[in-house]
Amino acid sequence: MATPESRRAGNAPGSQSLQQEPADNAAMAGQIVTLWQSGWESGALAPGAIAALEAGKVLYLPHLAFALAPGEARLLTPAVRNPKARNISLGADALLKGAVGDAATLAELAGMIGRFRRQAAQLIEAMLPQYRDAMRLAPTSYRPAKVETRAQSWRADDRRLHVDAFPSRPNYGERILRVFSNINPEGVPRIWRIGEPFEAVARHFLPRAKAYSGWQARCLQALRITKSLRSEYDHLMLQLHDGMKSDLDYQQDAQQMTMAFAPGSTWICFSDQTSHAVMSGQFMLEQTLHLPALAQYDRSASPLAILSRLTGRALI
């Protein structure tokens, strides 16, 4: 069962975070694949790199920096974020959300985030040509807040290992591919933990997952808690997300490695598949690309395919 209670007495999920640094596991080093290119115009990835990405590994591009235009350094301050918003975001409609400042600052923010949006899309189109016609860009986000001082409920706390799953937006197995660039101007890396492969996560948490209820899914939709009917796939992904985050023993003991993403670097992963947590850092740009699972090079590698195989059911 994915109960909100930790198995460790007295540790309600919301009340504290990790007691000590979990040990890095040498076997985990293969979860990162390093690519040395320095430009956003790229050739197609080698089949091995594509397979690694689709297997849930992180592609790390230490020399691929997002270049700030003259004057944009002044945007690297948390003061540009509306304190009520988690991040600043720019949609396809060019609408900027979550930012505060005068008209010139807002225009400059939109310019910087929009440029990252185009470069990230260009990068993925070139690296993964099979995705080109199938992918859809989500809003682009700029995260100027310091990760380590953010107070959050356990469920929203991305400092706990998790796979991404969204409570209000069922996605029926559509993939969440993300491009991240660390634009910290003071040499501060973004520190992540990266956990075990998706199938291991699923084998660990599926036996404790609450059963799917179609009736409950219809209620959530009627109450507009979800934007469409939550499928069994979406239910199970949330059960994995919540099961991982609410289990402090798992957070501590699961196979994992710590990775420092340097300023001036870019990294890419399927965040619905890669077990990840962000421990510290400040100033990052992020682009999400949604992709139908059927557009993958290896259709059997998706969370939907893996969960369907493990449960023996079609989940959407």
Contacts of 53 (CB under 8 A, 6+ apart): 33, 45, 59, 128, 268, 269, 270
Binds 183: which of ligand SIN, Fe ion, none (CB < 5-8 Å by kind)? none
Residue 178 makes CB contacts below 8 A (sequence gap 6+) with 268, 269, 270, 271, 286, 287, 288, 289
Whichever of 54 and 164 has its CB closer to Fe ion, that residue is: 164
- Residue with Cβ nearer ligand SIN (124 or 220): 124
| Choice between 110 and 257, CB closer to Fe ion | 257
| C-beta closer to ligand SIN: residue 143 or 230 | 143
Residue 143 binding target from ligand SIN, Fe ion, none, CB below 5 to 8 Å by type: ligand SIN
* Per-residue buried b or exposed e for 226-238, using 16+ beta carbons within 10 Å of the residue's own CB: beeebbbbbbbbb
The only residue of 108, 164, 232, 286 in contact with Fe ion, by rule CB under 5 A: 164
Residue of 92, 176, 100 whose CA lies nearest to 144: 100
User: Which option in Fe ion, ligand SIN, none does residue 278 bind, with CB closer than 5 to 8 A by kind?
Assistant: ligand SIN
Choices 61-69, 113-121, 156-164, 247-255; region in contact with Fe ion by CB under 5 A: 156-164
72 versus 158: smaller Cβ distance to ligand SIN: 158
- Which chain residues interact with ligand SIN by CB under 6 A? 143, 158, 190, 271, 276, 278, 284
**Which residues lie closer than 8 Å to 243 by C-beta, 6 or more apart?**
2, 205, 208, 209, 250
Smallest separation (angstroms) from ligand SIN to the CB of 187: 17
190 makes contact, choosing from ligand SIN, Fe ion, none, with CB < 5 to 8 Å by partner type, with: ligand SIN
Residue type, position 139, single letter: P
Q: Is 234 in the site for Fe ion (CB under 5 A)?
A: no
Nearest to 32 by CA among 285, 269, 201: 269
Binding site for Fe ion (CB under 5 A): 164
